[in-house]
Amino acid sequence: MLDPGDAQGVDRRRVRRSFEASAGRYDEVAVLQREVADRLLERLDPIRVTPRRVLDLGAGTGYATRALIRRYRKSEVHAVDIAPAMLQRARRRAPWLRRPRCVCADLHALPYPDDSFELVFSSLALQWAEDLPAALRELQRVTAPEGAVMFASFGPDTLHELRGAWAEVDDHPRVHRFPDKHDVGDRMLEAGFVDPVLDGEPFTLTYAHPREVMRDLKTLGASNAAPGRARGLLSPHRLARVEAAYSLAWRQPDGRVPATYEVVYGHAWGMTGTPQRADDTGEVRLNVHGIRRRRR
């Protein structure tokens, strides 16, 4: 489950099925996903790390994987995703002389030894974690002591327009609530990361009609994977009510409707030793002997 507050859990099997089904058309509508990946890649510029091995976690169709291969020409790049069909496209997308090592795996249980990667990169994958603390502990485990972790995820303001429109129709969890950056930062400290830094920025896409928002989400594979989601087909009448509520609340003067995404960026360093956890007072106590200084 996602902790704490309003953040809700994710059905991993549902996530895998959705992304597996969407692989063929994913790139047609992944405008935001490419933009966020580009911005996350830019954040690597000041990072002084020369990785022997690089992990692209949640590689999808390989947009960022290809960029990482080109950036780190002497590194061994691994692309991990939960959906095999996504990885097939990632492999085809990569330069034919430098194919990534594609591995189908769950981000909660990565098939690598401790300290495997000097760079872990993950663009818009962690929001699909069923258990965020466990996923972050797994990232810390495979990150080398002087290695860097760079990720982007979604924050709680994501798709608030669609969530509000659904709230006018029924009380089922129709749109995920993702944890905010402060909660993610706390979980990173508990997982044992060194010097975590988090920030965020909003993105707004606009559409001619609310139905286009939902269509793009389905094409992306970003369907509702909440364990308590409503089952069965959505009636045309109920869909029309959602669209009407969306338009009434959010239609802009030019007639278009917005869809907001809150993107949270995180950066940290690996450490040796056992991850530290919060005590009964909520404080996280780190063993200074387990922290190795990173290269400047």
Q: Identify any residues that bridge with 150 across adjacent strands, giving them in sequence order.
A: 121, 267
Sign of CA dihedral 93, 39, 260, 129: positive
% of the chain surpassing 90 pLDDT: 69
pTM to 2 decimal places: 0.84
At 210-226, the pLDDT tens digits run 999 999 999 998 765 45
Q: What is the pLDDT of residue 290?
A: 41
- Give the count of domains, the chain: 1
Q: What is the pLDDT of residue 281?
A: 56
At 273-284, the pLDDT tens digits run 444 444 455 544
Q: What is the pLDDT of residue 110?
A: 97
CATH of the domain at 145: 3.40.50.150
Residue 285 has pLDDT above 50, yes or no: no
At 134-172, the pLDDT tens digits run 999 999 999 999 899 999 999 999 999 999 999 998 877
Is 255 part of any domain?
Answer: no
Is 207 part of any domain?
Answer: no
Is 137 part of any domain?
Answer: yes
Residue 256 has pLDDT above 80, yes or no: yes
- The tokens for 68 are 């990482």
Q: What is the pLDDT of residue 175?
A: 85
Q: Tell me, what DSSP letter sits at residue 278?
A: B
Q: How far apart are CA 142 and CA 163, in angstroms?
A: 35
Q: Nearest-5° angle of CA 174, CA 180, CA 183?
A: 125
- The tokens for 89 are 């496209």
Is 189 part of any domain?
Answer: yes
Of the candidates 152, 146, 150, 86, the one whose C-alpha atom is nearest the C-alpha of residue 121 is 150
Is 19 part of any domain?
Answer: yes
Q: What is the pLDDT of residue 253?
A: 97
Is 1 part of any domain?
Answer: no
Q: What is the DSSP string of 157-204?
A: TTTHHHHHHHHTT--S--S--PPPHHHHHHHHHHHT-EEEEEEEEEEE
Helices (H) and strands (E) in the chain, counts: 10, 7
Is 256 part of any domain?
Answer: no
Q: How far apart are CA 170 and CA 39, in angstroms?
A: 37
Q: What is the pLDDT of residue 274?
A: 41
Q: What is the pLDDT of residue 223?
A: 62
Residue 32 has pLDDT above 50, yes or no: yes
Q: How confident is the model at residue 234 (pLDDT cuts 50, 70, 90)?
A: low
At 79-97, the pLDDT tens digits run 999 999 999 999 988 876 7
Q: How far apart are CA 166 and CA 160, in angstroms?
A: 10
Burial 278-292 (b: 16+ CB within 10 A, else e): eeeeeebeeeeeebe
Q: What is the CA radius of gyration of the chain?
A: 20
Is 123 part of any domain?
Answer: yes
**Exposure of 44 by Cβ count < 10 A (0-12 exposed, 13-18 middle, 19+ buried)?**
middle
Domain that holds residue 87: 12-156+176-202+262-278
Give me the chain's average pLDDT, please.
86
